[in-house]
Amino acid sequence: MKQSEIINKTEEYVLHTYNRFPLAVESGNGVRVRGADGREYLDFMAGIAVYALGYHYPGYDEALIEQIGKVIHTSNLYYHEPLAKAAEKVVRSTGLSKVFFTNSGAEAIEGALKAARKYAWNKTGRAGHEIIAMNDSFHGRSVGALSVTGNAHYRDPFKPLMGGVKFADYNDIDSVRACLTDDTCAIIMETVQGEGGIYPADPEFLAEIRRICDERDILLILDEIQCGMGRTGSMWAFEQYGIRPDILTCAKALGCGVPVGAFVLNEKAASGSLVPGDHGTTYGGNPFVLSAVSTVFDLYEANGITEHAAKAAGYLAAALDRLKDKYPCITAHRGLGLMRGLEFSVEVPAGKVAALALEKGLMIITAGGNVLRFVPPLVIEEADIDEAVSVLDSCIAELTA
């Protein structure tokens, strides 16, 4: 099909909940995709931080093809080898105790919230417990995930949402303390806020959150759906803070393309919360997706993916600093590892930069607060970074001329 036909049919038959870029992706290879228009594009958004290994990384496709030849789905009423292997690798990498596999990041958040409230129920014998979330956060679009997403734009049309949620300001410990009550059972936050504008947690803030949770027996839920799996230069962003959550949520690069997420619990949370009948999923953690997860961990380890990402991140950060110094319309550069943002003044909409970049062969997306978001595949090379920054340089020059 021609690109115009693909776009027209999509607009005719698919519910319009996304304002898509005018590109129909046909295939991918490495860190580049080919569109149905016949052009090649450098991918600096990686399916929104999903394609950490890029497209067709050696060993990935082969593992999935092999699993298709065996069995794709069994339900969770039976055991299978990919589950055993993937669970061990996820648990060991996090330093936690038990994992539950889901189909998405939003479902991982839902499970984490249920685990936190069940933990409090078991401890106190009553319901009505509260959760503290952060303003400007994003945790997903299901009702539970929306309930802890600190953005009125996403929340307001769907109220009433799940009750018992209070919002504090990210990196403001006094605002967190103001929300605490004897009914607080969990604090949920992104280790690096993504949709909210690429804001890493301050080390002192996260350390004090951890101390408060320990002191009051509150569960700390860290959302690393976007910032986990090597994105920040360590396998998990929390490792750079010297703390560990009680519950971790992950997805996106966990499967590097297949729809899979997970919430991972420490022994206290696991043994004190969900039991048979409390939670479930028909598709979650099936043999196909978990063969991908297991393979991703193997490929990361064998090929030093996280170490490569940390090195590439330093090169990207320096390049973005130079771009910021060159253009007064870039008001801030922040981030961690290969999760970075350039904030623009209101005169230069980040969305226009992204749209013009696509015309010039670069796929890149935005985040909240007029921010251009950089979440490329972790396997990018310095030459790819140079190319992307050169394209952006020309876009900004054109928009500010």
DSSP class per residue in 29-40: EBTEEEETTS-E
Task: Specify the CATH architecture of the domain 60-303.
Answer: 3-Layer(aba) Sandwich (3.40)
**pLDDT tens digits, 96-118:** 999 999 999 999 999 999 999 99
**pLDDT tens digits, 259-289:** 999 999 999 999 999 999 999 999 999 999 9
- Are the CB atoms for 67 and 291 separated by under 8 Å? yes
- Are the CB atoms for 265 and 95 separated by under 8 Å? no
Closest C-alpha to 133, from 146, 117, 118? 146
Closest C-alpha to 45, from 73, 25, 75, 66? 25
- Residue 22's pLDDT is what? 97
Beta strand spans in 30-97 (E)? 32-35, 40-43
Length in residues, the chain: 401
**CA–CA gap between residue 310 and residue 388 (Å, rounded):** 18
**pLDDT tens digits, 123-179:** 999 999 999 999 999 999 999 999 999 999 999 999 999 999 999 999 999 999 999
**pLDDT tens digits, 225-242:** 999 999 999 999 999 999
- Are the CB atoms for 51 and 41 separated by under 8 Å? no
Q: How far is CA 145 from CA 20, 163, 270, in A?
A: 23, 12, 20
What's the whole-number average pLDDT of the chain? 98
